[in-house]
Amino acid sequence: NSNNGTNNNLNLVINNKSGVIKSDNNITINAKTLNNTAYRYDAKQDDNDGYYGYDVNEKVVKSDYVMDQTLILEQDEAVSTLASQLSLISAGNNITITASQEINNLSSIITASNDVTINTNTFKNNTDSIDTHNLYRKWGKMWQEKYCEKKRNWWSGGGCKRYAYRTKYADIVDSRSEVVYSINKAAISAGNNLTINATTIINGYNTDNPEYEPNAQAPESAPAANADGASNDPILTIKPNIDTDSQIGAIALNGEYRVIKPSAKQPYLIETRNQFVDITQFKASQYLFARPNIRFLDPTMSNPITLGDAYWEHQQLQRQISEQTKKAQLYANFDMNATFDRLFNQSNEEYEKLTDQGVEITLGVSLSKAAIKALTQDIIWYENEEIEIN
C-alpha cells in the first residue's frame, strides 16, 4: 500500500516478476503502477538455429492443385518455443487492485475465488509473443487453357479447325510474417464478479516485452492455486455493460480477434485469429443454420450474418452460462458443440409449439414476455442489430 506523497498520491511501482502474491482471504494493492509480469524463456534445448522464441517447420504441405482455384500448396510454419515463468496473484476471497497509472498483467495470472476489482487508467492483459519474418509460402493455381489442336490449311482460309483444352499450372512463391505466442497465456479470472474500471483495456498479445533470458532452460510450471486452467487462454471476462458498437471498436485492440468484412464464405464480423485456435473444431450458429431441419429460420433471412465466428460465439455462450447459472456447463457432460446442438434442437421444438399456440416468435426479433413465459426449455435466440464500423 503506497499512499505516499502529498494529496494521497500513489507513487510506488510494484514489480511482481515471476513471483507469487497469495492470501487465503483478501488482497488489496494500491500503487502507481503494478507489473505482474513473466520472464520469457526460449524452451529449445538447442538455440543455434537463429530463431529465438520459435522453431520453423519447413515446407509443410497444405493442399494439392485444385481446378480453378489458387491455394497455398506448402509453407513454413512457426511453432512457439516461448515458455514464461508466470507471476501469480491469488486470493481465496477478494482481490482489489488500484493503480493510478497502469496495471500490466503479462503472461501471468490474477485470480480470486470471489470478486476481482481493478481500478486504473490503463489495464493490459497481454500474452508474450515474438514476431517472425520471411516465412516461405508457395501458392499454386490450376486451370484449363483453350488452344488450337489442329490448324486449317492456308488454302482453306487458315485459322483453327479444331480446338482442345489442356491443363495448365502456375506457382507463385512469396513470404509472410506471423506472431507466435508464449505457451503461457495471460489470464484474469473471478469466481463471482470481475469489475474493471479503466480508460483503456488491452487484451491480447505483446511483442515488446524486453524481459527475457535467452539461455535459460524451460521453467517448470508455477503453482496456480484457484486458477482452474486459466493459463490455457488469454482471457479477460468483462460484464456485458457496454454497447455492441463499443465492443466492436475494442476488438481492434484485442490480439485474439479481428474485424473483417462479412462475405458468403465468412458470414460474420468478428473473426478469431488462427494463431490462437483451430476454428474448425468449433460448431455454432453458421454450421447449425445450414442444417435442413432448422425451421425457425426466417425465409427472408436464410443466410444471416452473425456478430462473430464459431469460436467467438462459444466464448459468448460460455460467459452467459457461467453468469446466469454459476456453473461451467449448462448440461452435464455436454461440451460447447453439443450444447449448441441441443439448444438449436430445443429452439426448433419451442418455435413450433409457440407458433401452434399463436404466440408470435420470429428469428431476429426480441422474444416477447409472452413468449419467454411460455418457454418450457432452454433455447438460443438471435436478434437483429445494426453495427457501424469505422
Per-residue pLDDT at 276: 57
Mind listing the pLDDT tens digit for each residue in 245-265? 545 554 544 456 778 888 888
Does residue 5 have a pLDDT over 50?
no
pTM, whole model, 2 decimals? 0.46
- Going by pLDDT thresholds of 50, 70 and 90, the confidence category of residue 33 is very high
Least confident of 68-72, 138-142, 220-224, 383-387: 220-224
pLDDT of residue 275: 59
Alpha helices in 179-226 (DSSP H): none
289 three-class SS: helix
**For residue 258, what are the CA distances in angstroms to 20, 262, 279, 313?**
33, 12, 14, 14
Confidence bin at 231 (pLDDT 50/70/90): very low
Confidence of residue 156 (pLDDT cuts 50, 70, 90): confident
Q: In the prediction, which pLDDT does 233 show?
A: 35
Q: Are 185 and 235 in contact (CB under 8 A)?
A: yes
**Mean pLDDT over the full length of the chain:** 79
Specify the pLDDT at position 283: 83
Asked if residue 215 lies in contact with residue 115, where contact means CB atoms within 8 angstroms, the answer is no
Do 262 and 305 form a contact (C-beta atoms < 8 A)? yes
CA atoms within 13 A on the CB side of 28: 3
Sequence-distant (6+) residues with CB within 8 A of 120 are 97, 98, 99, 100, 101, 102, 103, 197, 198
What is the per-residue pLDDT across 80-125, written as a single tens digit (0 to 9) for each?
888 777 888 989 899 999 999 999 998 888 988 889 999 999 999 9
Query: What is the number of alpha carbons within 13 Å of residue 300 lying toward its C-beta?
Result: 4
